[in-house]
Structure 1
Amino acid sequence: MNAPSTIDLARLSAMDRAHAALVLKGVRDAMLSGERPRVLPRPVIGDSWGRMILRGVDPDRDVRSRLLSEEELEERRRASPLREILPVLRDALVSVADAAQHIVVVSDADGRVLWREGSAAVLRKADSLGFEPGADWSEEVVGTNGIGTPLVVRRPVQVFSAEHFVQTHHSWTCAGAPVTDPRDGRLLGVVDVSGPLRTIHPATLALVDSVAKLGEARLRDRHVTALDRLRAVAAPVLARLDGRALAVDVHGWTAAVTGMPPADRLTLPKSFGAGRTWLPSLGPCLVEPLPGGWLLRPEDPGDVPRPVAATRLVLDVSSPRRWTLSVLGGAHDWTHELSPRHAELLYLLCTYRTGRTASGLAEDMFGDPARTVTVRAELSRVRRYLGGLLAHRPYRFHEDVDVDVIMPERPADLLPHSMAPAVRAARRRMIL
């Protein structure tokens, strides 16, 4: 028997949108009733539906959370780095969206709608759906959608008609792309283009993704400018010092260095300030403030201690959106927030305590054992903050360290962004 096919949104034409919406409604109804559909949902949609079923989201009723007050909304807008790139987003999308009967929506990393612009008629339609400033459009509140789902999977997603988990959204289509901070990889929010079902266009997702990347590039340009300012301040200071020293910005990016090999970036603990501290890559350091950053002076030249005195490592993957690694029991405990890729790799290394080769990890991550270059490059970055805790040949955690993993309560919340074959298999095992 042939496997069911999936609907290809890229091939939708104006004539078959209504038919595709009807087919998708049948697919959704079959999935909800436990039947095998004739046509499968796209993997990103099927995975999202699975998360919604496990969370108990009502597929037939539009449930809304409390709107932010005007004061709360303005505070979030002021605090969001996305505010810096609003002109870029507006210039690239608003005129196009207005002409195409769409609206442009920008949310923060919690799924709260911060800004929206576009067609007045579509804005009124959005109001009737609760798609308004201050609203919570995370997946766990409103189901599969063009804001909440990209926040979970960390990649662009287009959601068409009955691909929305909640039935009241079936007259809607949306395409959203996540925006990350190039300085630290932190998820900032989503830029989304939405509108009535008839306005879908296959190119919308590519446009939104390109504009999100354009916004990230603008943030990157601003970061380079800030590093140049810090370098101008730090260079004369470093010129007067003997021994090793470096100037870094508040995110750990190096602006200037003397007496030691340069590094692009250092991992700084969250609780970081002036005085004496300890860093995994440098050991004990004297920290002094600089305008826009820090001056770091390693205290033991040529002797960077390895943090193998630690006794416990805790990988926390219990949240669907934020993952941390904590090293405890040594002279200096510390916690590091992980990128999506590093969370995947460290989870797999926790699974294989006896070690895993680069080719084995490549197969686990990509289903292709030949992709060892990518794996080795990422693990080289991991070792910048783990140091001697991570051995290689094969890659494994130091045998004297206890490793604990804090798992999510629901299988669907285990690294939901991950398409790695080994992670998907782990989710299935948790269900059984």
Structure 2
Amino acid sequence: MLSTRHHDRTRTPVLPTALDSREAARRLASVREATLAGDEPPDAPRAVIGESWRRMLGSGLDPERDRRERPLSLAELAERRHRSQLAQLLPVLHAHLLPVAEAAQQILVVTDPEGRVLWRQGAATVRRMADRHGFEPGAAWAEDVVGTNGIGTALVTRQPVLVHSAEHYVRTHHRWTCAGAPLHDPRDGRLLGVVDLSGPAHSFHPTTLPLVSAVARLAESEQRTRHLATLDRLRASATPLLARLGGRALAVDRDGWTAAALGTAPPERVALPRSPQAGPVWLPRYGSCVLEPLPGGWLVRIGDDGPPDPEPSRVVLDLSGRDRWTVTVSGPAGSWSHELSPRHAELLFILATHPDGRTAAQLSLDLFGDDRRTTTVRAELSRLRRTFGCVLAHRPYRFADGIQVELRRPAHPAALLPHSLAPAVRAARGPAPRT
């Protein structure tokens, strides 16, 4: 039976870097066994591992076996690879990590935001070992499926994570070590997936996690450079066209990032519909517009200055997903959906649960546990208001009067915005199970 006694958190945690692999594995196993039995462990688990174990205990995952799911079919795997932005990052990841993986008898793994293995390369002997654990292309490697691990735990914490030997929650993974780092879209912070080096526990090296983390940041940097170059090309081709137009217009890339503007202040990004098509479209900030295709993007012709479009009357904030969240705005003028960044998902959740509104200081406490970070809060709300126009009001910040707001949460409260460390979100998930 699990004890509800708090463990002494002042004791030094077991650090794999401080011990040889076999000694670390032995001590980690004793820590795990005592913790799961509700006894006082001989050493404290590392904070990131202890928190993951508590999540696993709360989810009811069997520590002796995982909830292995059916891998994706070849067609499904090919489709996810085609849709993933990570395909553009593979040359960087391979160039810097694959030689290390092969030399150290490890494998290089890249997953999507759901923890599905999209690509796997490395030493053939280790790939065969991984196959026996179901660690294969198309497999699900999220925490709620296989327990604490370098991929799933990195997806939850949004931080680089090393999981060594018996730090894995499920016993059958104790012969493995893995070091995973999340990969984010540098434009808006959206989680793209995880890059991971995994292999037999005896192949552990203390420099593996710093290396994986550094290469992940390098890949994100190259992604940003590629994005800016794309905008430069679009700007060069769109500027002559804009010069011949009258009225107001924008040239944006396929994701809505602004390259050039005519007759209006250029926003950082235009929130396009999820699947934009040429023709009339309603955008919350501008009202009635017309989209025309450009090489690499869209020309947005903003409507004239006639009577304004009717204001939106309903907002659906869908936070039920594990890693993708959307807001849908609808009213007499039409409807529109937009995918949210992690920070904007947090802010809109807080506003949806406080219909009377929040001041900048209150939102600072909600997000950071510190009421002094109001400058950051105001900057983020300014971006949100530029995107959503009349949907949001201020003084205090809130959804505008007369708008019906529907908040869709996950089936399990603990799954709400799992990446978030915001105190308001953590409180909404409910108390964490105690060991």
Distance 1:399 1:42 in 2: 47
Paired AA for residue 353 in structure 2: T
Say whether 1:13 aligns with 2:18.
Answer: yes
Question: Aligned to 2:266, what secondary structure does the other structure show?
Answer: coil
Query: Residue 51 of structure 1 contacts residue 413 of structure 1 at CA under 8 Å; is this kept in 2?
Result: no
Distance 2:11 2:295 in 1: 55
Say whether 1:107 aligns with 2:144.
Answer: no
Q: Any unmatched runs of 5+ in structure 1?
A: none
Deviation at 1:222, TM superposition (A): 2.3
Q: How does 1:258-297 map to 2 (within 5 A)?
A: 258-297=262-301
Higher relative contact order (CA 8 A, sep 6+): 2
Deviation at 1:211, TM superposition (A): 1.0
Aligned-residue RMSD, C-alpha: 2.7
**What is the count of residue pairs matched by the alignment?**
429
Deviation at 1:237, TM superposition (A): 0.8
Query: Residue 317 of structure 1 contacts residue 405 of structure 1 at CA under 8 Å; is this kept in 2?
Result: yes
Q: How does 1:369-408 map to 2 (within 5 A)?
A: 369-408=371-410
Q: How does 1:19-30 map to 2 (within 5 A)?
A: 19-30=23-34
Q: 1:222 aligned to 200, 222, 226, which one?
A: 226
Q: How does 1:57-136 map to 2 (within 5 A)?
A: 57-136=61-140
Query: Residue 13 of structure 2 contacts residue 43 of structure 2 at CA under 8 Å; is this kept in 1?
Result: no
Which shifted more, 45-54 or 411-420? Answer: 45-54
Which shifted more, 422-431 or 122-131? Answer: 422-431
Distance 1:259 1:42 in 2: 56
1:356 matched residue in structure 2: 358
Distance 2:42 2:286 in 1: 58
Paired AA for residue 376 in structure 2: T
Q: Any unmatched runs of 5+ in structure 2?
A: 1-5
Cα distance change, pair 240–186 in 1 and its aligned pair in 2 (3 A): same
Distance 1:38 1:389 in 2: 54
Query: Residue 311 of structure 1 contacts residue 400 of structure 1 at CA under 8 Å; is this kept in 2?
Result: yes
1:345 matched residue in structure 2: 347
Distance 2:116 2:307 in 1: 44
Which shifted more, 258-267 or 422-431? Answer: 422-431
Distance 1:178 1:209 in 2: 8
TM-score scaled by length of structure 2: 0.89
Paired AA for residue 311 in structure 1: S
Deviations along 1:382-428, one digit per CA (max 9) or x if unpaired, are: 11222222222222222322323222222220111111222222222
Which shifted more, 115-124 or 105-114? Answer: 115-124
Query: Residue 49 of structure 2 contacts residue 167 of structure 2 at CA under 8 Å; is this kept in 1?
Result: yes
1:313 matched residue in structure 2: 315
Distance 1:291 1:131 in 2: 40
Distance 2:255 2:11 in 1: 43
Distance 2:92 2:260 in 1: 31
Paired AA for residue 315 in structure 1: L
Deviations along 1:6-48, one digit per CA (max 9) or x if unpaired, are: 6657672243x44443443344334434456565444433443
Question: Aligned to 2:334, what secondary structure does the other structure show?
Answer: coil
Deviations along 1:74-102, one digit per CA (max 9) or x if unpaired, are: 44334433222222111111222233332
Cα distance change, pair 346–294 in 1 and its aligned pair in 2 (3 A): same
Which shifted more, 60-69 or 364-373? Answer: 60-69
Question: Aligned to 1:12, what secondary structure does the other structure show?
Answer: helix
1:166 matched residue in structure 2: 170
Cα distance change, pair 421–72 in 1 and its aligned pair in 2 (3 A): closer
Distance 2:51 2:414 in 1: 8
Deviations along 1:122-152, one digit per CA (max 9) or x if unpaired, are: 3333222221223221223212211222223
Deviation at 1:185, TM superposition (A): 4.5
Query: Residue 112 of structure 1 contacts residue 136 of structure 1 at CA under 8 Å; is this kept in 2?
Result: yes
Deviations along 1:245-278, one digit per CA (max 9) or x if unpaired, are: 1111111111121122122211111142111111
Distance 1:160 1:11 in 2: 7
Distance 1:423 1:161 in 2: 31
Distance 2:189 2:9 in 1: 37
Say whether 1:335 aligns with 2:340.
Answer: no
Paired AA for residue 247 in structure 1: A
Query: Residue 318 of structure 1 contacts residue 414 of structure 1 at CA under 8 Å; is this kept in 2?
Result: yes
Distance 2:284 2:309 in 1: 7
